Amino acid sequence: MKFAAKTLQSLRVRRAAVAMLIAAVIAGSGWLAYELALQSGFGGLQRAADDRLSLLQLTLDATIERFRYLPTALAQAAPIAGIYEHPDSPQARQAANQYLKSLNDAAGSSDIYVLDHSGVALAASNYLDNNNFIGQNYAFRPYFTEAVNSVEGRYYAVGATTGKPGYFLWHSANENAQTGVGVAVVKVDLHPLQNEWKSTGALVAMLDPNGVIFLTSRPNWQYRPISHLSESQLRLLRDTRQYGRAIDDLNPLFDGERTDHGMKVVRIKEREERTSHEYVVFRRPLPKHGWTMVVLFPLRSVQQQAAVVAAAVMLAVLAALLTYLVTHQRRQIVRAKLNAHHVLEQRVTERTAELAETNSLLSAEINERIRTERDLRLAQDNLVHATKMASLGQALAGVAHEINQSLAAMTTYIAGARVLLDRDNKESALSNLKLVSAIVTRMGALTQHLKTFARKDTASRQATDITAAIRYALSLVDYRIGEQGVTLHVLVPEQPVYVIGNAVRLEQVIVNLISNALDAMRERPQRQLTIDLECGEGRASLKVRDTGRGIAREHLSSVFDPFYTTKDVGQGLGLGLSISYGIIQDMGGEISVESTLDHGTTFRIVLPLAGTLALHTAVAIQT
């Protein structure tokens, strides 16, 4: 009896030890999985923050660099020199004000104005407004006091007169001022950037050197310091009236900081909320502006993801342990009842199941890769089609003009036919109706070509007449050529020239090259576009030359890179040439560029011929 009780107690102790061991293994695996998942989550946040900060920095620099040249040009302009030489002259003031207003309207800046040696505004772009800058003294602004020792600079502040914030770009006008220092100032509105941040839902903040937030995707964070400021910092902000208000130093944004897995974590308590939230914060200094760009990610999201992973791992470990215990007990029973042959057969069966599962996983992975490749090809086709539709949109103005002209002619001929029929002159009326029929045929051909160009084609390669593609492309941009007064020279063979390619995509490339050439010559005094097609050695060579502003030699290697463009901000994304490069490569051809600044650019496309061609005879067409 005592032996049985002792055995039962020993069994209970063993079971308790096993249970404790299982609990320890599950807890340890959950803790390890949580730590690894948290570390991986932080690594993902670091990569996302780096990408986001890089994109935000590029957007900010692109926005500001549009206006960087204005203060320098403004300080050297003749109307500004005139008002500095004759500050009391009404004519000089009127000329300077009108010049600043026209320059501000053209550049799209917020305000432009010039100060005299005492800091008083002599002329301003908003001189017509009741609340203009003229006569206001801005000597308290740092951009005026720094002009004594510096040539140019930048400064962000809230306007002392308008109450609107902006980025002030200034340049010293010492050479123009008769005495003391003069300053030319351009104010740039950066709020569109802030609105873009807000629309994306990202937590972004821009800090000044004092740690005060002046641009942010959260409006209630604006003009709040992230930590307590010193008395000298508060005095400087108060004296310069940089933000037009007193900074609430008693309620800094960051309520506490700590380090978690090497990451900076801050606690933020919103004014309208009673609870605090923790964020992982990433910073990037912007030395050019003296600012610091900050992006924040909620810590809770990373912790929740890590907790989910830890729970899944703990359940998996628990299931594995339970499976192991059940299997272990079953094997003990099997060993007691079956011989070695049965045990070996069981092991072979288990191994076969593992191999089948592995094979199934490999098959699933192969299918996923095939599906991914198909989706990638579909996305590439959609991008090509979208770019083609953008080119089609540029040509619609010319098509509308052509159709309007045809409709006007049809109206005239029909009215004439009615008069002739009233006079019983049937032959003349029939002649007018034939002309109307010809016009309708021409309009039908034009719209049919637009439908063909707009359709979402495949990337199939076949024998394609490149001369027809050139004619169709010119018909789409003909109105722009005439509207810009461009002289057109076309040198193409009289007979068709067949190359290996895709007709619609080849036409799309030609439209893109011609449109780029027209954009490059828009402001040039001499506008001449030459299209030359030559054949030889089994290849067709198409050249598109313009007399535009050209491309710098150091930028030629980047012309076919995605998102590279020489156009102004808002005039294009820089995808046309990149997509054209891919289309020509898919056709087995080559595309290259040669350019000289202020002389023009030549794009050359080389494609393999589809068969034997007749002798090359060039036909010159001038417009």
Question: Among 72-86, 278-292, 609-623, which is the least confidently predicted range?
Answer: 609-623
pLDDT tens for residues 391-410?
555 555 445 545 655 565 56
What whole-number distance in Å separates Cα of residue 213 and Cα of residue 294?
10
Q: Are 219 and 205 in contact (CB under 8 A)?
A: no
Q: Which amino acid, residue 8?
A: L
Give the pairing of strands 528-536 and 487-493: parallel
Q: Is 606 helix (H, G, I), strand (E, B) or coil?
A: strand
What whole-number distance in Å separates Cα of residue 386 and Cα of residue 399?
19
Q: Is the pLDDT of residue 523 over 50?
A: yes
Q: Which residue has the tokens 């602004």?
A: 141
Segment 590-594 shows an average pLDDT of 91
What whole-number distance in Å separates Cα of residue 153 and Cα of residue 157?
13
pLDDT attached to residue 253:
79
Cβ neighbours around 612 below 10 Å, total: 7
Q: Are 80 and 171 in contact (CB under 8 A)?
A: no
pLDDT attached to residue 177:
42
Cβ neighbours around 327 below 10 Å, total: 12
Q: Are 142 and 184 in contact (CB under 8 A)?
A: no
What whole-number distance in Å separates Cα of residue 449 and Cα of residue 298?
53
Q: How far is CA 208 from CA 155, 257, 315, 543, 563, in A?
A: 10, 19, 49, 52, 30
Q: Are 302 and 45 in contact (CB under 8 A)?
A: yes
Q: Is the pLDDT of residue 153 over 60?
A: yes
Q: Are 137 and 223 in contact (CB under 8 A)?
A: no
Residue 178's pLDDT band, with cuts at 50, 70 and 90, is very low
Longest pairwise C-alpha distance within the chain: 137
Segment 518-544 shows an average pLDDT of 90
Quote the pTM value: 0.46
Residue 542's φ and ψ, nearest 5 degrees, are -110, 125
pLDDT tens for residues 126-140?
888 888 888 888 878
Residue 396's φ and ψ, nearest 5 degrees, are -65, -30
DSSP structure class, residue 228 = P
Q: Is 394 helix (H, G, I), strand (E, B) or coil?
A: helix
What whole-number distance in Å separates Cα of residue 521 and Cα of residue 544?
13
pLDDT tens for residues 99-110?
888 888 888 888
Q: Are 546 and 601 in contact (CB under 8 A)?
A: yes
Residue 2's pLDDT band, with cuts at 50, 70 and 90, is low
For residue 291, the cross-strand partners are: 286
Residue 171's pLDDT band, with cuts at 50, 70 and 90, is confident
Cβ neighbours around 576 below 10 Å, total: 21
DSSP structure class, residue 568 = P
Q: Are 541 and 535 in contact (CB under 8 A)?
A: yes
Q: Are 539 and 604 in contact (CB under 8 A)?
A: no
Residue 184's pLDDT band, with cuts at 50, 70 and 90, is confident
What whole-number distance in Å separates Cα of residue 259 and Cα of residue 265?
6
Q: Are 552 and 571 in contact (CB under 8 A)?
A: no
pLDDT tens for residues 239-251?
777 776 667 666 7
Q: How far is CA 247 from CA 152, 214, 218, 254, 287, in A?
A: 28, 11, 17, 15, 24
pLDDT attached to residue 602:
93
For residue 137, the cross-strand partners are: 120
Q: Is the pLDDT of residue 152 over 50?
A: yes
| The two structure tokens encoding residue 573 | 């994304």
Q: Which residue has the tokens 């941009």?
A: 477
